[in-house]
Amino acid sequence: MAKRKESILDVLLLFPWWVNVGLAGVVYVILKYVLPTMEFENVVFKSLAAQGPFLAPIAAIFLLGVAAITAINAWGRRRLLDQQEGLETI
């Protein structure tokens, strides 16, 4: 049986919430400030660099949403573990 392909969302959901928050900050800074200052000869990269400041908040909001989902999942798992009283209740 073939293994299912993982999407980028599946991989991001495996990280802790704080990794996604840090990644959102890094992606925002790169798209907003670093990418527009770079010189490209390729037309595709040139247009991507021109649209970087517009795409920066969208990408950051997406990653912060993923961070919120992972934080809620971690909170739920922690609550479930706190309810356990011993090996019999697992």
Is 64 within 8 Å of 26 (Cβ atoms)?
A: no
Residue 28 pLDDT: 97
Give me the count of residues in the chain.
Answer: 90
Per-residue pLDDT for the chain (90 aa), expressed as one digit of tens each?
557 788 999 999 999 999 999 999 999 999 999 999 999 999 998 998 999 999 999 999 999 999 999 999 989 888 877 777 777 666
77, containing H or E segment: helix 43-82
Q: What was the pLDDT predicted at 21? A: 97
> What is the pTM (predicted TM-score) of this model?
0.81
The span from the CA of 22 to the CA of 70, in Å, is 13
CB 37 within 8 A of CB 20: no
Q: Are 17 and 64 in contact (CB under 8 A)?
A: no
Q: What is the pLDDT of residue 90?
A: 61
